A and B are shown apart, each in its own frame.
Chain A
Amino acid sequence: MRTFVLALLWTVLFAAIPLPSAHAQAAQDPTPLEFVDPVEEKRFRGLIAELRCVMCQNQSLADSNAQIAHDLRREVLVLMRRGLGDAEIRQHLVDRYGEFVLYRPRVGAATFVLWFGPALLLLGGGVVVWRIVRSRSRDGVVPHDDTQEW
């Protein structure tokens, strides 16, 4: 029994640690991007901070040094210069990589819990507390308890 519990514990502990993925990325030395003016650079920085690196997944395109992040940053700049709006650029990437590339997921059926779950939880907790408080105040004074010694 003890070994079973220990084994279970180890399984639970190590299931959470990500294994190194065999899905690899290319490594090349990229040339830095050049901007025509500070306005373009500012818009670009804003955009890539909101897009997720598909390879590294917990970093934005702005933070990641992965090759695919370099490629996608370049793509974003190309699309900007082609005259696409911010929403169009986001949609362009969503069409190819899925909703996942957006750091701020759009409100929809699949992301409803993500957006409103915490608020609903808070509301539920509030209702519970309110009901407890109300039932106690309706009871009025705490009735005399004979088991109490004082």
Chain B
Amino acid sequence: MALISEGRFIEDAWRRLADEEALPKSGKIIVSLSRLEHAVAHLDAGVALGVLAPNTTEPEPLAAALPRLSLISIVFPAFADGRGFSLARLIRRAGFTGELRASGRLLADQYRHALGCGFDTIEIPDDLAERQDESQWQAERTAHARTYQRGYVAPGSILEARRKAAAK
């Protein structure tokens, strides 16, 4: 797997913990959603906790665990399945400030959608990373100066820019 952050491929400091693996005493681990409650209750305070959430996850049950979570990784089963974008919005709205990760066969062309909905990092399979090199992610990150929507994370909203231009 390759991890993209701020338009660059970076080392992943997180490790996915298999359900049958014992909880570690240190490090950064990502557990499955079904194991989340158990991990919150039993994990050492020094271990950073992340969760792998299917895109059909309801945000409400996650809410209780949010203060303990440092990472939420939302699964994109296919790049054309946009449910993860809405789920990301809801998780951010619930107050999550940690790392929000999109995991799946996402394309560089969708980077701005992901960033706009509150994702920080994108995790893609290696074969895809080979075809979509860093320059494509970097280009997509910087290509779109402004968007029409407000309330989304974006370099700038056209509506704000218009307002500023009109005030001059």
A binds B: no
